[in-house]
Structure formats: structure tokens, C-alpha cells
Structure 1
Amino acid sequence: MDNTLIYVTGNSVKFEVALNAFNNTGVNIIQMKLDTPEIQSKSVQEVAMYSARWASRQTSKSVIVTDAGFYIEALKGFPGPFIKYVNEWLSADDFINLVKGKSDRSIFIQDCLAYCHPDSEPITFTGTYRGRLATQPSRNQGTSIEKVFIPEGFDLPISDIPPEEMISYWSNGEIMSKFKDYIIKNQII
């Protein structure tokens, strides 16, 4: 069994999360920056599956790809899986203004990991992270949503939480745990 798995991401935090989750498992995670086509869909699963299938065919290797959607309850789930683009268009202050006057500040992240071997169809693992929208945006570095999303169990937005705490938080989340169990149980890559 080849114990190497390629994580197609340009995001160093996502890669650190995977390294942390697979520490002491015998699985070697390698980061590859590869611009995958990102289809437009209301489903993070469809987006992740398409990208994983494409990347595994391009590399002829087993890959994982992750995609996430941020769903603001008071905005009927906006921006959902379109967060990548909305982060480019809206500032943290814009997000705050969108929920001005609304009592429900709850938000959740739907996270999806798609695993694909070049000879197979993708398999997905999903998880949800709940939290709330801050009343004031962080002034620290980060994306617009990282400056306003306060994960459950925290009192600060993601951009104000030390990176090592967030890596631990994401590493122990549903998708990495489910995927790690699947890979180890089935001894496949």
C-alpha cells in the first residue's frame, strides 16, 4: 500500500490541520497547490467531488480536496458555498451590516472533504461547525468571514484566535476524524 495522500490546497492552515489529524498514523500527507476548476453549485459536496475527481485524474494519484460553505441563518443561508467569491466582494463590516437589526446571529460552516483515487469516484465526508456572527469585526488579518465568525466554544472571531488553537479545533472536527477512520479501517489510499 502506498501510504502517501495528496492534499490539493493552497491553504497552509488546512494542510496543517491534515498533518495534525494524521500524526502518528503512518499516512504521509503531501500538499499540492493545483488550481482545480470550481463548479458553481449550491452543494459543497458537488463542488468538492468535482474538484477531487479532476485533481486525481490530473495527478494519477489519490487526493483529497476540501470545500466549505458559510450559512448565515438570518440571511437564509447566504453566502453558502459561494463564500470564496463573497469574501472577495464583501468586507467584514459588510457582513456585520447585512445582519444589522436581526436578532438571530447564528451561522454554521458546512465542511466537506472529498477523497478520490484516480480509478474511482469520489467519496465525501461532511461536518458542521456552529457559531455566531460577531457584533464588531476583528481588525486582525484574515478573510472577511474569519473576522466575523465566532466558533462555538470561543468568544473571539477566528482571526483573533491563535493559529495553533484553530488547527487543533479543525483537526478534531467531524470530517478529518471520519476520513482518518475510513482510511485506517480500510487501509486504502
Structure 2
Amino acid sequence: MYFITSNEGKFREVERIAEMYGIQVKWMKMKYVEPQGNSLEEIAKLSARMLAEKIEGEFVIEDSGLFVEALKGFPGPYSSYVFKTIGNEGILKLMDGVKDRKAYFMAVVAYWDGEKAHVFTGKVDGEIADSARGTKGFGYDPIFLYGDKTFAEMETGEKNKVSHRRRAFEEFFKWLKEKS
């Protein structure tokens, strides 16, 4: 099965999770125009339908976002754009002086079975760190604090045990195993 993403970090994380279920995931490195929407679920379904016009057969995509409670869920479904424009530094600046630093990562997996999209979600609660820490991972990992470490301070295997992406893909892989 193909996992469509331009992000090698995401692919490597998903590849390791898939192996635990005896599923082989192949990387289809592809950038695609991601539609905007008010929810990750909506974006993932729309993306799958758009890609289905170009790709034959089954595939899986994933969309994720960082939701900061003090910022009313921002950047949420706009996480990719916000990261490209203001990055971690911008989020930290927005959080300057804010005491309630609760946040969560959410991942939505959309599996296109050749006819329709099936959606699976995963969520992990944490906080926004006071500063960027760590060199591992990608995206918002250096500012997302889970326990006493940011995701960027964790080894890949440690992060994979708790990540939002793992939780979403586990739901998908369990469903896929039951279906076959």
C-alpha cells in the first residue's frame, strides 16, 4: 500500500508502525495541493478524493495539526501553513507570557479504498514548551512537550510509542487487519 507524502520523516515514522502490524507501506513521494478546511477530517477526505483522480487503486494519506488551547485551537488545520510562515519561533512568540500552555497534536489518516475515504484519528495531549528543545523529529516537535521532554528530544521509537500519528495509524491498521 502506498503512503502519499512529501515528508520523509512522516513516512519513516509510519513505516515503523506498519511493521508492527506486518503491513508493508511504500512511499509515494508526492507533493499535492492540500485543500483548506475547518477540520483535519474534512481536509483529509477532500485530499483523498482529489488524489484518487490521479492515482489508481488504494492509498493512504495523513494530515496532522497542532492545537493550542490558549490560542483557541490555532494553528489547528492551518498548521502546515503557519509552520512555513512563522514556524516554531512564531508560536513561541504568541505564547510569550501565557501560563496555560496546554496543547495537543491530532493526526487524521484517510485511506482511499478505490471508491471512498475511510478516516481514522489519533490525539496526544501535551504542552507548548517555553523554548525550542531537541534536534530530532520535524515540524513542531521541538516545542511540543510530552511529559518532561519535547518530541524533538525523544528517540524515534520513544516518540512512536505515544505519538498522535501512531494512534491514528494503529486505528487504521487494526481496522485493515479486521477487514482482511
Fold similarity call, TM over 0.5: yes
Counterpart secondary structure, 2:35: coil
Contact 1:55-1:63 within 8 A present in 2 as well:
no
Contact 2:106-2:164 within 8 A present in 1 as well:
no
- Moved segments of 4+, more than 4 Å: 141-144
2:168 pairs with 1:175? yes
Using structure 1 for the length normalisation, give the TM-score.
0.85
Partner residue in 2 for 1:96: 92
Between 38-47 and 48-57, report the one with greater CA deviation.
48-57
Partner residue in 2 for 1:155: 148
- Aligned equivalents of 1:61 and 1:174: distance in 2? 25
Contact 2:61-2:109 within 8 A present in 1 as well:
yes
Counterpart secondary structure, 1:137: coil
Between 18-27 and 64-73, report the one with greater CA deviation.
18-27
- Aligned equivalents of 1:24 and 1:160: distance in 2? 23
What is the letter of the counterpart of residue 79 of structure 1?
P
Among candidates 140, 147, 158, match of residue 145 of structure 1: 140
Contact 1:16-1:167 within 8 A present in 2 as well:
no
What is the letter of the counterpart of residue 127 of structure 1?
G
Mark the runs of 5 or more structure 1 residues left unpaired by the alignment: none
Give 1:80 deviation, angstroms. Answer: 0.7
Partner residue in 2 for 1:17: 13
What is the letter of the counterpart of residue 38 of structure 1?
E
Equivalence map 1:42-57=2 (5 Å): 42-57=38-53
Contact 1:73-1:106 within 8 A present in 2 as well:
yes
Give 1:163 deviation, angstroms. Answer: 2.6
| Backbone CA RMSD of aligned residues | 2.1
Mark the runs of 5 or more structure 2 residues left unpaired by the alignment: none
Partner residue in 1 for 2:64: 68
Contact 2:123-2:164 within 8 A present in 1 as well:
no
Partner residue in 2 for 1:34: 30
What is the letter of the counterpart of residue 182 of structure 1?
W
Q: Alpha-carbon deviations, 1:125-149, whole Å to 9, x = none?
A: 0111110010122263665622211
Give 1:171 deviation, angstroms. Answer: 8.3
Whose helix fraction is larger, Structure 1's or Structure 2's?
A: 2
Give 1:181 deviation, angstroms. Answer: 1.0
Change (3 A) 1:89 1:172: closer
Among candidates 157, 170, 175, match of residue 164 of structure 1: 157
- Aligned equivalents of 2:116 and 2:105: distance in 1? 25
Using structure 2 for the length normalisation, give the TM-score.
0.89
Report % sequence identity.
Answer: 24
